[in-house]
Structure 1
Amino acid sequence: MKIIVISDTHIPGKAKKLPERLLRELSEVDLIVHAGDWQTYSVYEEISEYGPVEGVYGNVDDKEIIQRFPEKKIIEAEGWKIGITHGHGERKTTEKRAADAFEMPIDCIIFGHSHIPMLRYKGKTLLFNPGSVTDKRKLPYYSFGIMEVTKQLSIKHVFYSDKM
């Protein structure tokens, strides 16, 4: 199972459209996960043309996104429990808020908000922030994630320099 993981698309705020690098990967996908800050519902409409979409809302999303998606959720893929949250809030770091969003044992937590790509374990839980496809915030590259789910859970970042 191939899952594309994105967050912080911020369209139309940071870009007018999704980058071609992302769209190429979306053409061969089983599931798309968006960790919030879509900004507008049109982002959901566009990516849902490529495959099923799971996601959560973030702190800048319009009311259509907030009505369509929860603040956090858990999905199951090939027996793996994957939590999704945006990670916004007060106090603590984004990473800490994301990790604290889920109380039960969970295999992976996908989050966004900081726009900073991250991949590391906290205990037995894999924490993954795909970064942003349109707003790299002081970093040299835009990014998203590709998760391969089989008997193993494998995830990596895709970095690129042109958001068009």
Structure 2
Amino acid sequence: MSQFGELVLLIGDLHIPQRSVDLPDKFKELLVPGKVQHILCTGNVGNREHNDWLKSLAANVHFARGDFDEGISVPEQKLVTIGDWKIGLIHGHQVIPWGDKEALSNIQRMMDCDLLVSGHTHNSSVESYDGKHFVNPGSATGAYSPLTSDVKPSFFIVALQGRDATTFLYELVDGNVSVVKGTLSKSS
């Protein structure tokens, strides 16, 4: 465990090579083996090479099946416990309307988790609703989305320490990596 607690990479919707050629070089420089202890991937990686690359970054790697993940044996949803946090992992295509807080809250209650990680919209976000938290890492490649033409490549690193979580949103903005810090607290 690092001085920041358990570090968790939240990533997904790479869509390589279907909608994107590769991860941004600046992200590849940051995402190297041994920096995080856990990876939670919302799916739609796109190819085996990048699945294997994600598995090389940390000892604990979990995937949810995306709507474009065919022919792989990955669950639609997964519950992972890291420290004091129960984290639900889904792709997000099951949420109707996509990204809707009430629909996310229903899934969170069914999974009985403190934090629900979902993707699919390709837009990064951190939201709280009814005492629970939702994080969407966006698309790590900035892959095309039918919902918006303004997709910024993004992922999150979350530092879990006890009942607190510090979120770090990494986004590629005008060719530079922008990092935005936030905090979450687990409700009783």
TM-score range, shorter chain: 0.7 to 0.9
CA separation of 1:42 and 1:62: change in aligned 2, threshold 3 A: farther
Aligned pair in 2 of structure 1 residues 45, 104: CA closer, same or farther (>3 Å)? closer
Match of 1:39 in 2: 46
The runs of at least 4 aligned residues of structure 1 exceeding 6 Å deviation read: none
Larger radius of gyration: 2
- Normalised to the residue count of structure 1, the TM-score between the two structures is 0.86
* Larger relative contact order (CA 8 Å, sep ≥ 6): 1
Unpaired segments ≥5 residues, structure 1:
none
* Matched pairs, number: 160
TM-score by length of 2: 0.76
Tell me: CA distance 1:35–1:140, structure 2 relative to 1, closer, same or farther (3 Å).
closer
The residue that corresponds to 1:75 in the other structure is 80
Paired residue for 1:147?
158
Unaligned runs of 5+ in 2: 1-5, 177-188
CA distance in 1, matches of 2:13, 2:36: 19
| Same amino acid, percent of matched pairs | 23
Q: Provide the C-alpha distance between the structure 2 equivalents of 1:58 and 1:10, rounded to a whole number of angstroms.
A: 10
Tell me whether 29-38 or 97-106 shows the greater mean CA deviation.
Answer: 97-106
Deviations 1:69-116 (A, max 9, x none): 200011001120000001114743333544332415321000000111
1:132 aligns with 2:146: no
Tell me which residue corresponds to 1:100. Answer: 106
Partner of 2:168: 156
Amino acid at match of 1:8: D
User: Which one of 61, 82, 92 corresponds to residue 53 of structure 1?
Assistant: 61
Conserved 8 A contact 1:76-1:82: yes
